[in-house]
Structure 1
Amino acid sequence: MTFTQRKTSPFNPTENMRTMGKGMRAAILFLLGVLMLLGILGGRLFYLQIIEGDLNQQLAENNRIRLIAKPPERGRLFDRKGNILASSRLAHVVYLWPIAQSKDKWQPIIERLAQLMGVSAQTISDKLEQEGYNSPNLVRISTAISPKLVTVLSEHSLELPGVKVEPEAVRYYPNGDVAAHLLGYTGELTAEELPKLREKGYRPGDVIGKAGVEYAFENMLRGEWGGQQVEVDAFGKVLRILGQKPPKAGNAVKLTIDLDLEKAVEKILGEQQGGIVAMNPNNGEILAMVSHPAFDPNLFSGKISEATWKRLQEKDHPFVNRTLQVYPPASTFKVVTMTAALESKAFSPSDVLPTYPYLDVGGFQFWDHNKAGFGTIGFYEAMAYSSNTFFGQVGMRVGERTLAEWSHKYGYGEYSGIEIKEEETKGTVPDPEWKQKVVGEPWYVGNTLNMSIGQGDVQANLVQVSMMTSGVANGGFRIRPHLLLEDNDAREWKQSLNISPTNLAALQKALKSVFEFGTASSLSSAEIAMAGKSGTAQDPPRPNHAWFTLYAPFEKPEIVVTVFAENAGGGGGSAIAAPLAVQTVEAYMQIKKQGNSPNNPPVPVPAQN
C-alpha cells in the first residue's frame, strides 16, 4: 500500500490563523505579566516615595550622614584673687569610631591596638560594647597618652582602621598637690556610673569630677558637647564635612580660698599628719583647707600605673580629707559646755567651783590633766587652764540633754553645709536614746562627764569646730562654710544662736584668757590679740590627738583657724597644734599686706616617655 504524504500549504489561511493565535496569546500573557509586575513595583515605589517618603528619606540620610561628637573643655578653677587652681593642657586621646567597622572586623583591630597600648583588649571591647557597634559617637578608650605612643599609633594606622588619635584638652593642676583634697580630681566614668549619667548626655569614656569641688561643681564645669556633621560612604569613610557645632567650654568657677595662704599653710603643717582649716568667721568663706598626707591630682589626668597606685596606697591614706573626718574634739568642746551652762542659767559667768586631781564617778576616776587640780576657780581660769574636773562638774549639773541641744545649735552632729559634702562625716552628738540604739546600753553619769570635756562618743570634724569658734567670734551667729565665692544674702548663710550679750562676752573673755595666762600664753602676741582653745584627745593604744582653734584679731575677727594633729602625742594641743594655728594667723596677716595680682604659671607640654 502506498501512502501519500499531505503537504500543508504555507498559504493556507486557516492553519496560519491557528498558529498566529497561539503566539499572540503568549505575547498577551507575557505583556500582562510585565504590566502586573510593573504595577506592583510602581505601587510599592509610590508607597515608599509618596506615602512614606519623608521617613525613608530620613533613614537614607541617617545611613549617609553621621555626627561625630566633640567633648568640651572643662571650666577652669580660680582662687579668690584670680590665680589658676585647675585648667587644661593639650594632650592626645585614643578614640574608636564604632560604625567604621563591623563587629567581626573590630576584634583583630582591638587586639592589635591593645598590644600597642599595653592595655587589656577586654577593657577596650567593653567600652565599645557599651556604646554599641552602630553608634556614630566616638568612644574614648584612653586618657592622655604620651607623645611616644602617639607616634607608635600613627606608624601603625593602616592596621587600625576606625581608630582615631585626637587632640583634646585634659585636666591640669599647675600647683601639684596644693589644695588637692579641696580641689579633688577628674577621671573616666566607670561602668557603674554610666547608666545613671547617660540620660544627662554622658558617654562611655567621658571624664567627670570624682572628688572635691571637681565633683561638687560638675554641672558648672562640664560644658556642652559639640561635634561635626559628616557625609560617609558605604564603608564609613568620611567624604566631606557638612557642618559643625563648636563645643561650649564649661564655666569658670571662682573659689573662696587664697592660694598664697593655702601654700603657706601647707608648709606650716609640713609632714605632720592631720589638717588645718582657715575660715572667715563672718561669712563662712574657706580661706585655706589643708590635709596631709596629700596626692597630686594630675596623676588622674592620665593612666595611673599599678606601681604608682601601690605607692600611693602605702602612704597613710592620702585620699582621705582629714579636715572633714571626725575625731573626739577634746577640750575645744568646753566652749559648748560653757555656753550650755550659762544659757541654761544653771551657772552665771561669776560662779566658781573647787577643782580636784580627779572626779570619782561610778567607780571610775576622771583626772585633771595636771593630776593635781587648780584650786577653786571660775570659768575664765577653767578655760585658760583647761580644767577637766571643773567642766566635768558643770556638765553633770547641766545634763546631757542640754549639752546635746547646744552641740546641735553650734553645728555638731550635722553636715556643715560645705559643698564637698560627699567627703564629710557629720560626727556624733550622743544622748541616752543614741547610746541605747547604737551601743545597747543605758546612759550613765560618767557619759555626761566625758561628753562635757569632748571625750567619749562625741565626734566632730575641723569645719564643725571652726563653725563653733566662729559663733563666738562673730557675735553669736552660726555660719555656713562654703567654697564658692559669691555674694549671697546674709540670711542664706548666717543665723543667730540667740546667746545673750552677757554670756557671749563671757565666752569671748574666757577664750582670750587662754592666750593671756593659760595654755597658749607663751604664744601671745603684742601685735595680734587672739582668743582660742586647746584640746588633747585620747586615742588608745595610739598617741593622743592634738587640737587648737582660735580667732583673730580679737577685737574685730577676720579669721578662724582650727588645727588637728593626728596621733601627735607629745605635749598635746597647746604644745603641738597651737603654734601651727598662730603661725597660720601670722601668715594670713602677712599675705593680707601683699597685692592681689595673680601669678599663673604657664601650662607645660607633657614630657616624652
Structure 2
Amino acid sequence: MRTIDLLPKPKPKNSHSRTRISQPSFAQDKRKETGRTVGRQYQSVLLMILISIVLLGGVGARLFYLQLSQGEVNREKAENNRIRIVPKQPVRGNLFDRKGRVLATTRLTHAAYLWPMAQKRVDWQENIRKIAQLLGVPQDSIEEKVEQAGFNSPTLIRIARSLTPAQITAIEEYRSEINGVEVDIETVRHYPHGKMASHVMGYTGELNAEELARRRKDGYRMGDVVGQMGVEAAFEPLLRGEWGGLQLEVDGAGKVMRVLGQKEAKPGKDVTLTLDLEVQKAAEAALGNRKGAVVALDPRDGSVLAMVSYPRFNPNVFSSQITPQIWKELQETKPFVNRAMRGFPPASTFKVVTQTAGMETGKYPPNTILSTFAYLNVGGMALGEWNRAGFGPMGYVRAMAWSSNTFHGQIGRGVGGPTLIKYSRLYGFGQETGIELSEESPGLIADDAWKRKMYNWEWTDGDTVNMSIGQGFTQATPLQVAVMFAVPANGGYKVKPHLFKDSLDNKDKWRTSLNFKPSTIKILREGLRAVVSSGTGKALNVPHLPPVAGKSGTAEAPPGKSHAWFGAFAPYDNPEIVVVAFAEHSGGGGGSVAAPMVRQVMEAYFKAKPPKN
C-alpha cells in the first residue's frame, strides 16, 4: 500500500533558504472542491439508521400481515404440517351360505400409502416416478390419486394393495430416496372357493373418480372399496360398514409424536345367502366347461340354491393389482356375462305355458285330444314334427311326454297370439324376476306393437305358432324358466327368486298365486312326470332319486348349433327343488345333454349316490 507523505521534504544541502513551505493535503483539496467542512463524518451513520428504519418497517408490516391478516390461514397450514390423518377402512361383512359356511370373507395384507404433504408439489413428480418403478404400478394412476386428493391433503392415500414381500422390501431398501410413502396393514376381500359362484358373489373394487363423484352424497370417500357386481353390489349397504381413523401429531421427519384422536371403524354386517354350498359345487361340476348355466331353487319360496354360469372368473384377482396378463385373459374369455340371467330361445320347455293357455281359456279343456302330423301348415309356414311323422291322436299328458310340436302349435294358433302372450307374461316371461342382482335381463315376449316397431310388419299366426313351441322371437332366461317350473311344482304360485336367506315359514312373502284351475295344475304335473317316466327325460328316471318331473327342450339357434334345455322338480309328490340346466350351442338334445346335468345336481341335493356298475 502506498502512503502519502504529508511532511516537508528535506532541503538540499546547497540550499540557502530555511523557510518551510507546507504542501496542501488531499482532504484540504476535497474540502475546497465541495465547500463542506462540517458533519461530513456522520453521513454514514445517518445512512445506516435510515436503511434500518425502512427495513424494520417492511418487516413489521409483513409480520402484521402474516399474523393478523393471514394468521388463521397460516396457523392452519402449520397445523396440517404436523397433523397426519390415517384412515382406517371398515372390515367388510362376511357372506355365508344357508348352512353358515363361508363364501366370502376378509384377509390381512399390506398396502402402500402416500402422504401428499410430505414434500412440495414440484418435487412429487420425480418421487412418484421412483415409487411407481419400485412397486410396478402405473405412474399415471398414482399421479391421478394424488391430484384427486390434493397436494395439501393431510390424509394418507392408498396407491397399491396386496403388496408382495418383494415390494415391501424394495420400499424399505430405497426409503432414503423416496419421500412420503408408507406401508400399513389392511383387509381385502377373500373368496375361499375361488371361481365358485363368481357370478353370484361378484367382486369388490376401489371407486374410481367417476364413481366417487356419484356416490359421495351417500358418504363414500376416496379409497372406498365397494361391491361392483353380484351380491357384493346388491348388499353393499349392509356389507360396507363405517370408516374410522387416527389423528396423529408428527415431527418434521414424519415421526409420530402422539395420537390426538381416534375413531374405531365399524365393521359391516354379515349376510347369509340362500345358496347351498354342496348344491352349488355339484352344479358347477355338472356344467363343467360348457358355455351355459344351471339354476336350482326352492319352489316353495323361490330361494336360490345354486346359480352357475360359464365362463366364470376368480373374484380374488380384483383384491389386488390386476396384471396385464390377467386383464388380457378377462378380455378374451368375457366371463362377466351371467348366462343364468340372459335370454335364449326356451324351446319346448315353453310348452308348459302353451298348455296352460289352452286349459285356462277353456278352449282346450284337460280332456282335449288332437291329431298330430308330420308338419303343420300355418300361413305358408310349415311347423315340422321332430320325428318327421307325427304321433297320431294324443292328449295333453302324452303330448308333453313326447314334446309334440304340431299338438302345441294347434293349441297356440287356437287361443291366438294375444292370449298366449298374456299367459307368457303371467308366468313372468318378458320381465325381470325381481332377484337382487342388477345384471338380470328381462328376456323378450314380443307382440304386435314390438314387431311393427322392429320390422314394420304385423303379428301373424306363424309368429304365434313359433311362440307356442318356444321359438321365434321368444327369449327366456334360465332363471325365468326355473320360475316357470316352480308353478306346477308348488301348486300354482309364481315365486320371486331371491338370494337373501329368509325363514321358510315366511314363504308367502315370496310368492303370488296365479289362481289357475286345480285341473290345469294336475294335468301339467302329470305331463311333466310322464316326460321322465316314459318320454324324452328318461335320464332322470333312476331308482336312487325320488320321482322326478320335468321337460326337455332343444332350441334352434342358427347359425350355430342348437341349445339344450332341461327343467325338472322333485320329489314329485312334495317338491323341494327345481333345477334348470342350459347348454349354449351344445348341438345335442335336451334329454341327452341337459338332463344328465340336472340329475347330477339332484343327486347332490338328495345325497343320493348312483349305484355302482
Select the residue among 164, 169, 180 that pairs with 1:146. 164
Give the aligned partner of residue 418 of structure 2.
Answer: 401
| Contact 1:80 1:485 (8 Å CA) reproduced | yes
| Contact 1:75 1:252 (8 Å CA) reproduced | yes
1:234 shift after superposition: 6.4
| Contact 1:261 1:591 (8 Å CA) reproduced | no
2:564 is paired with a residue whose SS is strand
| Contact 2:540 2:548 (8 Å CA) reproduced | no
Give the aligned partner of residue 432 of structure 1.
Answer: 448
After the TM superposition, which residues 97-116 of structure 1 pair with which residues of structure 2 at under 5 Å, given as runs? 97-116=115-134
Give the aligned partner of residue 270 of structure 2.
Answer: 252
Give the aligned partner of residue 204 of structure 1.
Answer: 222
| Contact 1:331 1:536 (8 Å CA) reproduced | yes
Give the aligned partner of residue 318 of structure 1.
Answer: 335
Select the residue among 335, 344, 347 that pairs with 1:330. 347
Distance 1:67 1:313 in 2: 39
Deviations 1:201-249 (A, max 9, x none): 3333432211111111111111111100112456765432123222122
Select the residue among 261, 280, 286 that pairs with 1:262. 280
Deviations 1:553-593 (A, max 9, x none): 010000000000111112x111111111122112100089x
Does residue 223 (structure 1) correspond to residue 238 (structure 2)? The answer is no
Letter in 1 for 2:529: K
Does residue 441 (structure 1) correspond to residue 446 (structure 2)? The answer is no
Select the residue among 90, 108, 120 that pairs with 1:90. 108
Deviations 1:519-549 (A, max 9, x none): 1135313451111111011111110000000
Does residue 348 (structure 1) correspond to residue 368 (structure 2)? The answer is no
Call closer, same or farther: CA 1:468–1:505 in 2, change over 3 Å: same
**CA RMSD after TM alignment:** 2.8
Distance 2:202 2:314 in 1: 10
Distance 1:344 1:149 in 2: 71
Does residue 410 (structure 1) correspond to residue 427 (structure 2)? The answer is yes
After the TM superposition, which residues 166-185 of structure 1 pair with which residues of structure 2 at under 5 Å, given as runs? 166-185=184-203
Does residue 575 (structure 1) correspond to residue 592 (structure 2)? The answer is yes
Distance 1:208 1:586 in 2: 37
Select the residue among 386, 393, 401 that pairs with 2:403. 386
Select the residue among 131, 135, 144 that pairs with 1:117. 135
Letter in 1 for 2:554: T
Call closer, same or farther: CA 1:312–1:48 in 2, change over 3 Å: closer
Give the aligned partner of residue 603 of structure 1.
Answer: none
2:512 is paired with a residue whose SS is strand
Distance 1:160 1:406 in 2: 69
| Contact 1:410 1:468 (8 Å CA) reproduced | yes
1:223 is paired with a residue whose SS is coil
1:542 is paired with a residue whose SS is coil
Call closer, same or farther: CA 1:246–1:102 in 2, change over 3 Å: same
Distance 2:154 2:218 in 1: 18
Letter in 1 for 2:418: R
Does residue 294 (structure 1) correspond to residue 312 (structure 2)? The answer is yes
Give the aligned partner of residue 537 of structure 1.
Answer: 555
Letter in 2 for 1:177: K
- Point out where structure 2 has 5 or more consecutive residues left out of the alignment: 1-52
Select the residue among 524, 543, 565 that pairs with 1:507. 524
Select the residue among 568, 582, 598 that pairs with 1:564. 582
Distance 1:524 1:245 in 2: 62
Distance 1:122 1:581 in 2: 50
| Contact 1:462 1:563 (8 Å CA) reproduced | yes
Distance 2:135 2:264 in 1: 30
Distance 2:502 2:175 in 1: 50
Give the aligned partner of residue 11 of structure 2.
Answer: none
| Contact 2:101 2:277 (8 Å CA) reproduced | yes
1:490 shift after superposition: 3.8
Higher relative contact order (CA 8 A, sep 6+): 1
Letter in 1 for 2:310: H
Distance 1:151 1:478 in 2: 59
Give the aligned partner of residue 17 of structure 1.
Answer: none
Does residue 458 (structure 1) correspond to residue 474 (structure 2)? The answer is yes
Call closer, same or farther: CA 1:53–1:147 in 2, change over 3 Å: closer
Range with bigger deviation, 339-348 or 134-143: 134-143
Does residue 158 (structure 1) correspond to residue 176 (structure 2)? The answer is yes
Distance 2:522 2:423 in 1: 17
| Contact 1:294 1:319 (8 Å CA) reproduced | yes
Deviations 1:314-346 (A, max 9, x none): 33x322111111101011011011111111111
Deviations 1:417-463 (A, max 9, x none): 11112x11110011111111222211111000001110011101011
1:57 shift after superposition: 7.9
| Contact 1:139 1:203 (8 Å CA) reproduced | no
Deviations 1:479-526 (A, max 9, x none): 110111123844431111110111111111111111122111353134
Select the residue among 239, 247, 258 that pairs with 2:257. 239
Q: Percent identity?
A: 50
Distance 2:471 2:483 in 1: 19
Give the aligned partner of residue 480 of structure 1.
Answer: 496
Range with bigger deviation, 529-538 or 55-64: 55-64
| Contact 1:351 1:378 (8 Å CA) reproduced | yes
Give the aligned partner of residue 601 of structure 1.
Answer: none
Range with bigger deviation, 484-493 or 345-354: 484-493
Deviations 1:251-307 (A, max 9, x none): 111111011111122112222221111100001111111112212111111122112
1:525 is paired with a residue whose SS is coil
Does residue 584 (structure 1) correspond to residue 598 (structure 2)? The answer is no
Does residue 190 (structure 1) correspond to residue 208 (structure 2)? The answer is yes
| Contact 1:140 1:204 (8 Å CA) reproduced | no
Distance 1:411 1:398 in 2: 19
Q: Normalising by structure 2, what TM-score?
A: 0.85
Distance 1:198 1:142 in 2: 22
Give the aligned partner of residue 32 of structure 2.
Answer: none
1:73 shift after superposition: 1.5
1:143 shift after superposition: 2.1
After the TM superposition, which residues 22-41 of structure 1 pair with which residues of structure 2 at under 5 Å, given as runs? none
| Contact 2:92 2:241 (8 Å CA) reproduced | yes
Q: Normalising by structure 1, what TM-score?
A: 0.86
Distance 2:608 2:188 in 1: 32
Distance 2:508 2:84 in 1: 51
Give the aligned partner of residue 280 of structure 1.
Answer: 298
Distance 2:582 2:119 in 1: 58
Letter in 2 for 1:129: E
| Contact 2:80 2:154 (8 Å CA) reproduced | no
User: Which structure is larger by alpha-carbon Rg, 1 or 2?
Assistant: 2
Call closer, same or farther: CA 1:306–1:389 in 2, change over 3 Å: same
1:61 shift after superposition: 5.4
Distance 1:127 1:89 in 2: 24
Give the aligned partner of residue 8 of structure 1.
Answer: none
Distance 1:490 1:523 in 2: 28
Range with bigger deviation, 92-101 or 219-228: 92-101
1:55 shift after superposition: 10
Range with bigger deviation, 465-474 or 525-534: 525-534
Give the aligned partner of residue 384 of structure 2.
Answer: 367
| Contact 2:278 2:604 (8 Å CA) reproduced | no
2:433 is paired with a residue whose SS is coil
